[in-house]
Structure 1
Amino acid sequence: MNDDLGLFTDDAGDAPRGGRAAERERLHRRRRRRIVTACSGILVLLIVAGGAGYGVLQLLRLGSYEDYEGSGNGQVVVEIRPGETTSAIAGTLSERDVVASAAAFIRAAEGNSEIKGIQPGFYLMRSEMSGEAAVERIVSDEARAGMVEVRGGMQLADHNLPDGKVKEGILTRLAAATCTGDGSSQGCISKERLTRAATETPAAELGLPEWAADAISDVPHPRRRLEGLLLPGIYHVQPNADPVEVLRSVLSDSFDKLRAVGLSNLASDSGHSRYELLRIASLVQSEGITEDFGKVARVIENRLAIDMRLELDSTINYVVEDPQLYTDDEDRAKEGPYNTYNRTGLPPTPISVPSTAAIKAAANPAEGDWKYFVKCRQDGTSCFSKTFEQHKQAQQKADRNGV
């Protein structure tokens, strides 16, 4: 019998042994080996092809290696978004003609550990920079633009301090952040323009959520209507942006922060509306240090519960031209919606930026029946009292401590 196909030989090429069953088993083993070998070959080809394809994509992404010479000219504002890789940054710089090619930037960035520390935000670059110059520029402090830090207790407008100095408000800082740097005022928004936008722009154009828009719709002093709606944090302002764009951007970021804090649930659990909670939190922030926030919040709640005037100096100082640590009789006698010495209830708006800690304290005050407090120690902490007689003793202690 001819066996040209090798169907009746074993692995060594000998004649079959053990009958037909053995022959069938040997045939199945040989077929399985052929299939495994074929599959392995296909897998290798796929891996090679995939690697080649990835390499092609990388080459297409980076483009050819071209490079400018020198430190460039003019000014280009570039935004770096959260999570962007060096390759993504290089692509952005190439698209904006900051560098001649992404590859030039990537090659210049090799071995530079600072490149991995680039933070999201806006950077002032130049046109037609060499890859090396672009790397050196983007990791420098001079390149950062439009960054504003907002801290707890800050206010929108500039205001005088008891020591005679002027503390810049948030609007002044935001306006300055729109400048394009290099000691130039080119493209800057004035604080007056930004203040007008904050006062007059419809809430819908500012992107306010419905609850906030409704709450500020009838405040007595419109220029104060955005007070307390910015949480502490770092805000990125695009240089050369117009006033409404600036406000819409920072407010959007702040409301993201408020959602992350859980403002809606905190307000619901506290029995206050979201805006009421922010107003209380701003008082807590302005009246005490973090250690005392919970007790200050409790004093406010205890007074509100019995319709007792809050009598807080911080609300008087919010509107007077020359504030003092302790207000005088003349200031406390002035009529106005922020005078908590002659009006009951909360002021119509927050009076400062509330921190997360102040918001949480306002939502969950410490347990106690205090109705009075006064700063009585050099470290800024307060003495809390249940009765006015105890409060007078605490004031005497504050005098003895030189507070």
Structure 2
Amino acid sequence: MNDDLGLFADPDARADERARGRKSAAAAARRAKAKRKRTILWIVVALVLAGGAGGAYYGYRVLSGIGSYEDYGGAGEADVVVEVKDGDFVSAIATTLHEQGVVASARAFTEAGAQDDRLTAIQPGFYLMKTKMSGAAAVTRMVDPAAKITPLEVKGGNVLHDITALDGSVTKGILSMLSDASCVELDGAKKCATVEQLRDVADNADPQALGIPDWALPSISAAPRENRLEGLIVPGLYHLDPGASPVELLRSVLTTSLNRLQGYGIPSGTGATGFKPYEVLVVASLVEKEGKTKDFGKISRVIYNRLAKGQILELDSTVNYKLDRPIITTSDEDRARSGPYNTYSAETRGLPPTPIGSPGMEAVKAAISPEAGDWLFFVKCETDGTTCFNVTFDEHDAAVSEARRKGVF
């Protein structure tokens, strides 16, 4: 049996060896090393009994010298962006910091933060650090909220373009927000992907290079160029590498978004609707724009009922999408200018060519599984946005009159 630690050696045999005069320096060194290993092993055993395997492993590392300990002094030198990935433990974060030159060793970070519970609460994302920081300085910086680069946040109904209200105020679109989120200042120099660069990529880049899946490619190819990515970036937070190119930024956001859509049921759960996955995404965007969450299932059913009857959709939201206006109603002039997004026209019967905004999970699920009902009409009938649903036009007309009386629109 191989007994490198010498735990099972016969003491009489060792005495015989000494008697035979085998006291060379090499043998003495081996015995000293074995003695040290036996001491370490018994300490490990004690730690296992007292505090569990985790404490034992840490103790073994420290006592046996596994894992070098080196540390810089001071608060650091040059700016550097570091990514914390989803599921990273403190040890993984420490390794990343070491590999990117932030700390001299992973142990410098883990030991400096051993008593700081905030380290276990570090969220995924990108953090602005410095090279050659002491372990303590790196811990202090990592738990400082100011170190985390603000992610892109997309909300339900957001669109790619900026929207200008009637009073002249501007609501930033997804591309403008993405430009803002891409900015970082490294050693005094600010770097951003501009809105113009992102727009050029959105309009002209190869869809496959952006990660567009097969189920969306035909519709993307046929869509108006400036609207082709609409609806493919769903609500949520997007952690961005601020040093990435415009193509990389959009591909990263689209990849994350399309993974979310898969979780919501597009494309896998759309078969029962009788519509293609991209068409269901379009329906979800209409649902998102047309009402409150509690009414999504019924709004979805109205849309499908109208499509089934060959009835034009007559949705102001599609007209206003093309005109970039956040209002409820439209005029005859507005409809004349909205082209293929004019769902009041028999010439554009059916769904618009693209989604008209970012549909959230609830809207997608409503588009996949609409409520059962015969409704063909709906209107916002309360000032809080509540929607009224009706089967006949006369009922709908009465609901519209009542809504106007209440000042809903």
Residue 192 (structure 1) aligns with? 196
Helix, strand or coil for the counterpart of 2:217? helix
For normalisation by structure 1, the TM-score amounts to 0.83
Q: Aligned equivalents of 1:208 and 1:68: distance in 2?
A: 47
Residue 373 (structure 1) aligns with? 378
Instruction: Please report how far the alpha carbon of residue 350 of structure 1 lies from its aligned counterpart in structure 2 after TM superposition.
Output: 0.3
Residue 338 (structure 1) aligns with? 341
Instruction: Work out whether residues 384 and 391 of structure 1, in 8 Å CA contact, stay in contact via their aligned partners in 2.
Output: yes
Relative to structure 1, is the Cα distance of residues 53 and 265 closer, same or farther in structure 2, using a 3 angstrom cutoff?
Answer: closer
- Between 1:259-268 and 1:114-123, the stretch displaced more is 259-268
- Between 1:296-305 and 1:98-107, the stretch displaced more is 98-107
| Pairs within 5 Å for 1:241-256 | 241-256=244-259
Relative to structure 1, is the Cα distance of residues 271 and 162 closer, same or farther in structure 2, using a 3 angstrom cutoff?
Answer: farther
Residue 86 (structure 1) aligns with? 90
Instruction: Please report how far the alpha carbon of residue 357 of structure 1 lies from its aligned counterpart in structure 2 after TM superposition.
Output: 0.9
Q: Aligned equivalents of 1:298 and 1:325: distance in 2?
A: 20
Q: Aligned equivalents of 1:143 and 1:59: distance in 2?
A: 35
Instruction: Work out whether residues 303 and 310 of structure 1, in 8 Å CA contact, stay in contact via their aligned partners in 2.
Output: yes
Instruction: Please report how far the alpha carbon of residue 75 of structure 1 lies from its aligned counterpart in structure 2 after TM superposition.
Output: 1.0
Quote the sequence identity (%): 46
Instruction: Please report how far the alpha carbon of residue 374 of structure 1 lies from its aligned counterpart in structure 2 after TM superposition.
Output: 1.0
Instruction: Work out whether residues 179 and 185 of structure 1, in 8 Å CA contact, stay in contact via their aligned partners in 2.
Output: no
Given candidates 358, 363, 372, the residue that maps to 2:363 is 358
For normalisation by structure 2, the TM-score amounts to 0.82
* 5+ residue gaps, structure 2: 1-37, 46-52
Task: Provide, for residues 360-401 of structure 1, a one-character-per-residue CA deviation record: whole Å limited to 9, x for no partner.
Answer: 111221122221111111221111122222112111211222
Residue 30 (structure 1) aligns with? none
Amino acid of the residue matched to residue 126 of structure 2? Answer: F
1:299 aligns with 2:302: yes
Q: Aligned equivalents of 1:176 and 1:183: distance in 2?
A: 18
Residue 315 (structure 1) aligns with? 318
- Between 1:356-365 and 1:175-184, the stretch displaced more is 175-184
Instruction: Please report how far the alpha carbon of residue 325 of structure 1 lies from its aligned counterpart in structure 2 after TM superposition.
Output: 2.1
Q: Aligned equivalents of 2:304 and 2:58: distance in 1?
A: 66
Task: Provide, for residues 61-94 of structure 1, a one-character-per-residue CA deviation record: whole Å limited to 9, x for no partner.
Answer: 742232321x223210101111111122112112
Relative to structure 1, is the Cα distance of residues 97 and 401 closer, same or farther in structure 2, using a 3 angstrom cutoff?
Answer: same
| Pairs within 5 Å for 1:200-219 | 200-219=204-223
Q: Aligned equivalents of 2:71 and 2:250: distance in 1?
A: 40
Residue 145 (structure 1) aligns with? 149
Relative to structure 1, is the Cα distance of residues 183 and 151 closer, same or farther in structure 2, using a 3 angstrom cutoff?
Answer: farther
Residue 76 (structure 1) aligns with? 80
| Pairs within 5 Å for 1:133-282 | 133-145=137-149, 147-162=151-166, 164-181=168-185, 186-219=190-223, 221-282=224-285
Residue 67 (structure 1) aligns with? 72
Instruction: Please report how far the alpha carbon of residue 202 of structure 1 lies from its aligned counterpart in structure 2 after TM superposition.
Output: 0.5
Instruction: Please report how far the alpha carbon of residue 104 of structure 1 lies from its aligned counterpart in structure 2 after TM superposition.
Output: 2.1
Q: Aligned equivalents of 1:59 and 1:87: distance in 2?
A: 19
Instruction: Work out whether residues 146 and 238 of structure 1, in 8 Å CA contact, stay in contact via their aligned partners in 2.
Output: no
Q: Aligned equivalents of 2:188 and 2:298: distance in 1?
A: 47
Instruction: Please report how far the alpha carbon of residue 124 of structure 1 lies from its aligned counterpart in structure 2 after TM superposition.
Output: 0.8
Given candidates 283, 303, 311, the residue that maps to 2:286 is 283
Instruction: Please report how far the alpha carbon of residue 185 of structure 1 lies from its aligned counterpart in structure 2 after TM superposition.
Output: 6.7
* 5+ residue gaps, structure 1: 1-40
Residue 397 (structure 2) aligns with? 392
Query: How many pairs are equivalent?
Result: 359
Instruction: Please report how far the alpha carbon of residue 344 of structure 1 lies from its aligned counterpart in structure 2 after TM superposition.
Output: 1.0
1:402 aligns with 2:402: no
Instruction: Please report how far the alpha carbon of residue 155 of structure 1 lies from its aligned counterpart in structure 2 after TM superposition.
Output: 0.8
Q: Aligned equivalents of 2:293 and 2:63: distance in 1?
A: 52
Amino acid of the residue matched to residue 294 of structure 2? Answer: E
